[in-house]
Chain A
């Protein structure tokens, strides 16, 4: 094992490649043609989709203890917490569903991750959309309870009044790192 220093909880986690910037197409540059909102667009909005997360958030989440440099954190995408295949949007019916996968089944930060995703979507999508953010089935011990909280508008609103929670969520959503 590694010499010196304390042993790490999860020193060699599985990592996934980032999907990279979405290339701009000629159609997108055409002033006239409308572009519908698609899965990839929602995925790019998600915290840690393409924007690296503030590591403070990861530290709090105790995902990987060794990460402490704010300049190069792993993103939720690299940890496969969010994946494009788990994002479903229907522009015509104005619905968005996002599944996220906590790194370990007992991840204590699952609610917070879900909350960050939800807040980011509320702030970034037109009001007409109905949002559904939940845990990928079978990947968390308290899946049901977490999902219930995330679906509860009043609770989400209340959580955002809690300045401590709001701070963590905001840190997570701040692109400046």
Chain B
């Protein structure tokens, strides 16, 4: 009634009158409870005067019987939310609470009410409360003293934070306020199981840390506490102390830290030296970094001494000598401590490095062993990497610059060391030195490049050689001139040289290295302009030559070209240059070769091998995917007419003996037709918004080619190209027509005739194109595919086709080439088709049952693991049956489905333990290595089932696993050792 205005609150009070004044405290309590509940409903409607009366009434009631108090507090909480509270009332309510109520003897909920009242007043009456001065702080300290409930603590901690953040007077009570909060540190709280309040230990830790690290006034009390707790036996206490220290450093200054620096340092050092926990070590290093940063940034008055130097000196004193013992355990902890301190500021860096760098350089010379030198150089590298943080080297203050000569000589000596590990560290150091602008002199740089060339080409170890190429790639954009002037010509020279004296095998691997290095160093437009012609020139040379293995050489060139394309995709200018240079050149060479093929079948044959064409596909694709729509349109207007109309004018060297007509009929055009692979690479990589000229005609030609061609390579490529275009084709009548046409050509082809396989390939690719984009026709095509599983001739290929549908295809129909791919297509395919597969399996004859299992395996194998684990139990009986299938693809994929299930759904799997043990053990003697490995992994995964379920099988499994211990393949033995070892441990002590 009060809400809608028909009653006033005073009328309620009057009506309750007898009840509120009843002598029985229980009755009084109920009266007040009712009134408080009313107030909670309507506090916002109250008049100022009403509030005044109610507050006075409630304050008065605080002295009442303890049974009444909870309801009184409820009422006060409602009133504390009133906006019309007269000035002075908030203070008077709080004073009354502080005076009359012993908060910690109340129940949790009532204590929470008190905190709410305080929070409400602090939110709305800040000025009035501050008028109370330090009395308010003191009152609150008494209220929260002894609080135990985590829910209340979170509120209380928030109040303390506000007290400090909003500058309430703490007066003489700083230490008391610290005591009343710090007594909870470090937080030791484990939420009860099924806790409905959801308070985590981490919530309390962070909330308390925010209080403790909120003011420098706590420093003198907090720092000794942190130092003490760092020595705790509990790792969590250590971590909490360290993290709190780090948090404090953000607001402390030198003044707060001064007195405690020696103890802080010795605690941190002790922990880092002794701990085996990476976490503790990382937190210690973070805290040291924070301390060093804090000292570096403190604003000092003119008469105070700067403590950073003395602090760093003590660190150096304790750590420096350990750096001289590269074989001992403390060498790395010491280096990490020094690096943490040095990394905090430029000043700290200079202080530490001017002592440490000369020492490390000296130690490097003193220790002749490669392994020791490696440790020393790795430490040196750590310090060099810190310098990178500050960018360029400042001439006047850098110790590093003054040490240029010895640093370079140490790094260069590492590069010529026989130990590959040392070389690798040397190469990393070289990369860092090169990235410090202005550090390397021009003559150093030439030496650097020479070393990189030597390591790239002539170092026997491939790891070193690859690292050197990577280093060249990352330094090249910084010094493009040095690399174009020095490295590229050297590589070109090596590539062209024909050395008789060397064995052809060495020569071959040197050429490989040259090709790789040319690609690796192409990380800058100006370098790409130099290396691409060299690579293309080499490709022409290989094509002209008649050496055996030239196909492999061409593939290598293509791999290098591909890498260059990937590296310049972000560089618009370089990328367009690349596209304009490489794509026409490859097309021209291929067209040339195809024409020679029809006239002189022996010349230039290597270029047309499937392997080489397949290697060109990623080159053209990578050179196309990142084109802007305008440039792509320009390019497509040349390439499509080339294939449809033999329009060769845009190709370099375009005088050919006959015309290029890959879509025409004719025996002698077989070679030309293979080049559809290159068309596919280009046209299927175009951005979706680029229109393909004469698209409908192109689609019809591709369709015809895919159905009529006898060469599987060409037919498949045409089908893929068709599918790639269809996937991106805008929906509508045109698309429906072309799809209808495809279905009409496919269906008779599938039914009978010599080209059933081609028709199936087309069906698979078109289905994939449509499944990816959720096209309505896809279910019709999938059903057709499901039907073919029962076909004696095409069944196995159709089953393998499910893998094609689900897997990411490398050249077309993936996100990278702008295909329309819905993210959940696999799950959707699973939901739509797995029931049909299962049904088909049950209805199928014995000779084709395996096809269904295989199809199912492929679908399951490509499903994301979390989805698999939730969906699999329904298919479990089928999978167990599939284990008995003799097809090794089915076995393998079933085993790989079951393995995660064993780990993640052990309860369900336990029901089938008998079958599982028997099948797994029998598959460990499969003739296929991969099946044996998978079966042993499953046998291993079985051990995550409940021990009691497994124990009856222990002896049998251990006996059976003795046989694969003597398998002829090492990889199988390794799995057998792991699985058998784990079975031995089952149910035995100490597991």
Contact = CB atoms under 8 A, between A and B. Distances in A.
B969 A166 contact: no
B989 interface: yes
Nearest to A57: B990
B269 interface: yes
A12 B330 contact: yes
A128 interface: yes
Contacts of B930: 31
Given A14-B327, A15-B328, A126-B962, A8 B990 contact: no
B283 to A, nearest CB: 13
B14 to A, nearest CB: 71
Interface in A1-44: 2-5, 8, 11-15, 17, 24, 28-29, 31, 34-35, 37, 41, 44
A125 B989 CA distance: 22
B197 interface: no
Interface residues of A, number: 48
Interface in B933-991: 962, 965-966, 968-971, 973-974, 977-978, 980-982, 984-985, 988-991
A3 B276 CA distance: 18
A120 B969 CA distance: 20
Interface in B215-272: 231, 235, 263, 266-267, 269-270
A34 B967 CA distance: 9
Given A4-B231, A167-B990, A173-B981, A35 B968 contact: yes
Contact of A24 (B329, B971, B980): B971
A4 B232 CA distance: 12
A55 interface: yes
A67 interface: yes
B990 A11 contact: no
Contacts of A120: 981
B969 A35 contact: yes
B371 interface: yes
Interface residues of B, number: 44
A93 interface: no
Interface in A82-137: 120, 123-128
B981 A123 contact: yes
Interface in B866-892: none
Nearest to B989: A167
Nearest to B278: A72
B328 A13 contact: yes
Contacts of B275: 66, 69
A146 interface: no
Contacts of B585: none
Contacts, number: 117
Given A4-B266, A124-B977, A173 B985 contact: yes
A60 to B, nearest CB: 11
Nearest to B980: A123
A125 B981 CA distance: 11
Contact of A127 (B962, B973, B988): B962
A170 B329 CA distance: 28
Nearest to A94: B966
Given A11-B330, A15-B329, A124 B980 contact: yes
A175 B267 CA distance: 33
B929 interface: yes
Given A8-B274, A31-B928, A71-B277, A124 B981 contact: yes
A51 to B, nearest CB: 10
A47 B978 CA distance: 12
A175 B969 CA distance: 23
Most interface-central of A11, A12, A67, A171 (chain B CB within 10 A): A12
Given A24-B971, A29-B971, A123-B980, A166 B989 contact: yes
Given A3-B269, A124-B977, A124-B981, A66 B278 contact: no
A8 B330 CA distance: 13
Contacts of A29: 929, 971
Q: Which 7 A-B pairs have the closest CB atoms?
A: A3-B266, A167-B990, A126-B966, A170-B990, A34-B968, A167-B989, A35-B970
Interface of B: 231, 235, 263, 266-267, 269-270, 273-278, 280, 322, 325, 327-330, 371, 928-930, 962, 965-966, 968-971, 973-974, 977-978, 980-982, 984-985, 988-991
7 contacts: A28-B969, A31-B928, A37-B970, A68-B276, A123-B977, A124-B981, A170-B991
